[in-house]
Amino acid sequence: MIDEQHLLNYPIPEIRQVLRWQDVALYNLSVGLGQDPMDKAQLPYTYEPQMTALPSMPVVLGYPGFWLKAPDTGVDWVKVVHGEQSLILHRPVPVSGEIIGRSSVTGIVDRGPGKGALIYSDRVVLDAATGEKIATLESTTFARGDGGFGGKPGPVKPPHPEPKGAPEITCDLATRPEQAAYYRLNGDFNPLHIDPDVATKAGFPRPILHGLCTFGVVCHALLREMCGYDAARFGRMDLRFSSPVYPGETIRTEIWREEGGAAFRARVVERDIVVVSNGRFRFA
């Protein structure tokens, strides 16, 4: 069972990470870039002479690992899923150097017995040489098996409103059947994404794609459609994960232009199920 004060003060380790262009290439490829070898617009994200980090890459930088799996967190880790993710870029993501990641739990909401708990956390990603902020990440984890521990029922972070009417832009990007196996090499080793037995215990018919891999696919769509593959124009994205994606499915990102950016959501084409909702993108 969750001990609220213990979890709010949980000593998530600070992570120092040496970043190489090969790490950037692995991340970019693991979220699906490079599937069309004739698409020259994607070359800066796959080819080392001009290597550029996809703007969503900070989600795997300074990452402390699946720390909620530790027994002393009190969390039923098998039933944990990613609920929401926010990314704020303070500067372009470097392709080499040393990175520092500092993570902390910022809030816990008890939704009640049988209804789970929300765990809010953030991570600041810094350049180790200068101390300059690269990105700020805010996450909501839905601990489906941990409601009823006696905590407060709020405050709950309000989602961005859903857009109305037909989208102005749609972008279909395919995922690969083995994509979760590639994505986990970025450091997210939750067995839910590769072990069929763990997926079954969690209530899924087969391993699901990492929520942050879906995040990267949607980032790719926004980068293509809103920024013309210019990573320097990308400022922020926020979204809510509505349903899991299974590797091999096609993610269709639906976009509504707004002043300063766009609203968006995403659905799996094959099942016509919304997998990302309440999305907002902002230019740098």
Read off the amino acid at residue 264: F
pLDDT at 263 over 90: yes
Q: Say which range, 64-73, 86-95, 248-257, 264-273, has the weakest mean pLDDT.
A: 64-73
pTM: 0.93
Query: Mean pLDDT, to the nearest integer, of 258-283?
Result: 98
pLDDT at residue 170, rounded to an integer = 98
pLDDT tier for residue 81 given thresholds of 50, 70 and 90: confident
126 token code pair = 């810094």
20 token code pair = 């190489």
28 token code pair = 């970019």
Predicted confidence (pLDDT) per residue in 231-248, tens digit: 999 999 999 999 999 999
69 token code pair = 């799996």
3-state secondary structure 69-101: HCHHHCCCHHHEEEEEEEEEECCCCCCCEEEEE
Predicted confidence (pLDDT) per residue in 111-168, tens digit: 999 999 999 999 999 999 999 999 999 999 999 999 999 999 999 999 999 999 999 9
What are the φ and ψ backbone dihedral angles of 155, each rounded to 5 degrees?
A: -75, 145
Out of 2, 15, 208, 255, which one is annotated catalytic? 208
| 188: annotated active-site residue | yes
Could you tell me which residues come within 8 angstroms of residue 99 by beta carbon, excluding any fewer than 6 positions away? 16, 17, 18, 19, 61, 62, 125, 126, 127, 128, 134
pLDDT at 223 over 90: yes
Read off the amino acid at residue 25: A
| 208: annotated active-site residue | yes
| 172: annotated active-site residue | no
Out of 83, 101, 151, 211, which one is annotated catalytic? 211
